[in-house]
Chains A and B, each alone.
Chain A
Amino acid sequence: MKVLVTGASGFLGRAVVPAVAAAGHEVIALVRPTAAIDSLAWPNSIAILRGDLRQLGDWSTQLGDVEAVVHLAAASSGDLPTQFSGTVAATEKFLDHLPMRSLRRFVHVSSFSVYDYSAVGFRGTLSEAVPIDPRPEKRDAYTVTKILQERLVSEACEAAGTHLVVIRPGAIIGRGKDWGFGRAMKVGRFDIVFSPRAKFPLTYVANCADAIVKALDAAVPPASVYNIVDDDLPSYGTLHRLGRRFGARGAGPALYVPWFGVSLIGAMVSLLNRWMFNERAKLPEFLDRRRQLVRWKPMFYSNRAAREELRWSPAIPLQVAISETIGELTITRDHTTMTSK
């Protein structure tokens, strides 16, 4: 198929583009006009389309023969207007110019952020059955815009009869994005690690890219949704220890704060917020009760649907993924060889 990948030069896109090409598809990589792609060493067969979805341009006239889409483009930082423009309004423009009715598959990459974490009990399981957060404005701009983006895509696909598959990855880890190896903050030389026994819902970037490739032609019903996390999920404490053991730059000795302590602080701050600021205070993540639940509440994460229906399994194990993230190893595209750096 001729597959258009948006957000192709982003963190996940850089892994998705060669993975889609390796699966035998013809790839059009939509990258921003200023994106530096020479160092990415993509195969010559990949067609580069430069454009910014926030603004109509040449890109909008070159989508006529696209057969499938992997939609990764989104703004992951900035205030609400900035993220809205880069995620929601940009997606609206994109959908308006796609040949929706002739598309064979639309793979939309959403996020774990869209879920209502308060609906998952203590040590419960986050699966695709968990509802979408009904009050995302109480969390953050990323949650608001990713929910709206997913809704836009779903509505457009439903209206056009386009076969949609939604991929919701957990925390994508890889070289250039290490999530601080699970630390909540740094105080002097120490890393403060919250909820050290809670699972860290990570997926290694190449594993996530493989799941997206599988979603392009898996025999699954329209509007299917799949959570993507790796198999051997570490706890926050284990992830931090692994990072230290493999020599992650900047990783210091850990000071653990158990979930009970994190939760207690969050509950007290939440009460103060209600009492003093009518719930309008903008708090950092580590003090914000609703965002604490998302990040540190002990729970389990299921990838069963992706394994059974997409027939996906994460090929790169945790320790190799951590080594690669730190830069000790380079993993080749077919995952069969690893080279010491």
Chain B
Amino acid sequence: MTASTRLRAAVIGCGAIAHEHLSYLGESRRVELVAVCDTSRATASFMRERFAARASYTDASTMLREALPDVVHILTPPETHESLIRMSLNAGAHVICEKPMTGSAAATESLLKEARRLDRLLVESRNLLFNDVSQAIDKLRNEGRLGSMREVDVLLSLDLTAGPFGDLNLNGPGVALPAGAVHDFLPHLAYLFLHFAGIAQVEQVTGCLDNRSGNARVGYDHLDVLIEGGDVRGRLRIASDVAPPAFRLIVRGTERSVETDFYNPFLRIEGGDNVGKRAPLEQIGSGLSLVRAGLRNFRDKVRQHGTYHGMPRMLDAVYRALLNDEASPIGEADILATARLVDRIVAIGEQP
């Protein structure tokens, strides 16, 4: 692939998630990494060296003017996304933005309209849909083995007070969004629900969104909501105070149910013929499958094939679509549906 058939990419924001994006950008044949940008000179310079970017900047507008990227990855804290997206779109770049793109569906919709007006692509990251287990569940569903979708449950158990979100040595909120730290993870849960439920909007959202740790910086750290939409219902939970850390997804259909975990992946499929007296056969099969998953996970941890392994696949699909002038794998309608569901859930909360 020649330089002329590659897209010039730049990254704004060189924090933890940038390592995941840049691992792809530094190696992809579809990409020419022209710039990295961070307000810290040392950070920008380190990332330029580490991922062989052509240049590093500390100012986004200077970078857009001088590096002339075709695609900009916006990986800064969420409250800065909106202005950087507008700046990048107006500079003529397509934009890939980390979730959550904004703090409200209205703001997201406005940005999507702006991108459409400028004939640029604007996508919000949804990397978990490109993980092995998500793709395996997609396959089961597309083959009709799950039957019709009825329930989608997602549980994220992770101590949101640990790490920078709840670090009381730092001032201000850990995440400057209406639902605090929960808001930062919520798009993952929302798009997983909508994707596997196969619906675009929900009718009812009830539950609670609150702070159970007493850590003021983290904002909300607990979520438990029930959702109904069409024939599908589900439960989305984020808990900071339960062990072990897990990111569990259960999809139940009229024929079979499937359970998985994004942190320590496995696939347990129940139902089909193995019910009633044959249910123990399913348990034996699932036990063996769990052993295989354990061995695979051990190997994956050694070779660093972690929770973010869907990220390069997602980015490659977006770049392929851009280069071939095809439809984006992450559609505008999906992004907006996710933002609207997030809005409904955030509305449940009361500021702690």
Interface residue ranges, A against B (CB under 8 Å) = 32-34, 52, 54-55, 57, 79-82, 84-85, 88-89, 91-93, 137, 148, 152, 277, 280-283
Shortest distance from the beta carbon of A17 to any chain B beta carbon, whole Å: 18
Q: Which residue of chain A lies nearest to B170 when distances are taken between CB atoms in the complex?
A: A55
Q: Which residue of chain A lies nearest to B301 when distances are taken between CB atoms in the complex?
A: A282
A282 and B168 alpha carbons, distance in the complex (Å): 31
Query: Is B116 at the interface (CB under 8 A from chain A)?
Result: no
Query: Is B302 at the interface (CB under 8 A from chain A)?
Result: yes
Query: Is B295 at the interface (CB under 8 A from chain A)?
Result: no
Contacting pair A280 B304 (CB below 8 A): yes
Query: Is B278 at the interface (CB under 8 A from chain A)?
Result: no
Q: Which residue of chain A lies nearest to B15 when distances are taken between CB atoms in the complex?
A: A81
Contacting pair A80 B169 (CB below 8 A): no
Given A81-B19, A280-B304, A92–B169 Cβ distance below 8 Å? no
Interface residue ranges, B against A (CB under 8 Å) = 15-16, 19, 40-43, 46, 50, 163-164, 168-171, 301-304
B169 — which chain A residues lie within 8 A by C-beta?
32-34, 52, 54
Which one, A79, A82, A88, A282, contacts B43 given CB within 8 A? A88
Contacting pair B304 A89 (CB below 8 A): no
Contacting pair B302 A148 (CB below 8 A): no
Contacting pair A282 B302 (CB below 8 A): yes
Q: Which residue of chain B lies nearest to A89 when distances are taken between CB atoms in the complex?
A: B40
B164 — which chain A residues lie within 8 A by C-beta?
85
A54 and B43 alpha carbons, distance in the complex (Å): 12
Q: Which residue of chain A lies nearest to B168 when distances are taken between CB atoms in the complex?
A: A34
A85 — which chain B residues lie within 8 A by C-beta?
15, 164
Which one, B170, B171, B303, contacts A280 given CB within 8 A? B303
Contacting pair A88 B171 (CB below 8 A): no
Q: Would you mind naming 7 contact pairs between A and B with Cβ atoms under 8 Å apart? A: A54-B169, A55-B170, A81-B15, A81-B16, A84-B43, A148-B42, A280-B304
Which of A57, A80, A81 has the most B CB atoms < 10 Å from its CB? A81
Which one, B42, B302, B303, contacts A92 given CB within 8 A? B42
A55 and B303 alpha carbons, distance in the complex (Å): 34
Given pairs A81-B19, A84-B46, A89-B42, 20 additional interface contacts (CB within 8 A): A33-B168, A33-B169, A52-B169, A52-B170, A54-B169, A54-B170, A79-B16, A82-B16, A85-B164, A88-B46, A89-B40, A89-B43, A92-B43, A148-B42, A148-B46, A277-B302, A280-B304, A281-B304, A282-B303, A282-B304
Contacting pair B171 A55 (CB below 8 A): yes
Contacting pair B302 A283 (CB below 8 A): yes
A91 — which chain B residues lie within 8 A by C-beta?
42
A137 and B164 alpha carbons, distance in the complex (Å): 24
